Amino acid sequence: MRRKLAAGNWKMNGDKVALAELDTLANTPEATEIDILVCPPATLIDAAVTRLGTAPVAVGAQDCHAETTGAYTGDLSAAMLADVGATAVILGHSERRALHHETSEAIREKARAAQAQGLMAIICLGESEFQREATNTLDIIGAQLSLSVPDGSTGLNLVVAYEPVWAIGTGRVPHPDQIGEVHDFIRARLERRFGAGVGRSVRLLYGGSVKPANAADIFAVSNVDGALVGGASLTAGDFRPIISALAQA
C-alpha cells in the first residue's frame, strides 16, 4: 500500500513568524495515517526542522543543484539540504522550468544528486494550456517523465507530481477524468519502465489550485496518492482540511 502524502510548497513566501503555522500542523491527528511534508524557502529549513522536533511533519526544500560542491554562487546542493534536516526536495516545478529554463535532462541530474544524498525527489510534470488544447497532453507528460526521472528510482526516493501549468494559482482545476487520465498514464509508464512492483510503489501527487473545497473530489480520482499544495499550504487553517480530506479518501 502506498502511504498518502500531503506536501506543501511555500514557494517564495514566509518568514520566521510564519513558522508558527507549523505548531498547528505538528498536532494534526491525521499525521499518524498519512505523510505530511512542508517545503518552506531555504532560509527557513533549519528553523522549521528545529521547531518541529519529533513531530510527525517532515521538512523539504524547493530545489537543489546537481553538483555536491563548487563555484555555483547562490545555489544549494542536496548535501547541504540534507545537512540541515531536509528529507525531500521539489524538482522541475513548472515555474523553474519556465522562469529558469530548466530542461528535463537537468532535472534528472538534480534528482539523481538528491537521491544520492538520501532525499526524496518530488519531480513535477505538467502541460501548458496551449499543449492541453492541442490535445497532446500525454505526449508532453510522457516525454517529461522519461527524461526527468533517473534510473534506479524507487517508491522510497521518488514521488511524481502532476501539475497542469494552467491550473497553478489560477483557481482552475481539471475535470477529475482529466486528472485520472494523466495519473493512470504515469502509473502505466512507471510500471513499464521499472517493473510492476516499483512502478506501483511510487506515489503520484496532483497539484494545481488544490483547496479545501475541491480536495475530496481530487483524492477520489484513480492513482492520486496525495497533493502538492501551493498557496493553501501557507496557513494551517487551509492546509489541515486538505490533509483531513486525504486521510479520509
- Annotated catalytic sites, by residue? 93, 163
Quote the CA–CA distance of 108 and 149 in Å, as a whole number.
5
Chain-centre distance for alpha carbon 240: 17
Cell of 118: 538520501
Query: Using CB atoms within 10 A of its CB, is residue 212 exposed (0-12), middle (13-18) or buried (19+)?
Result: middle
Residue 49 has a CB neighbour count (10 Å cut-off) of: 17
61 in helix, strand or coil?
strand
Q: Do 62 and 42 form a contact (C-beta atoms < 8 A)? A: yes
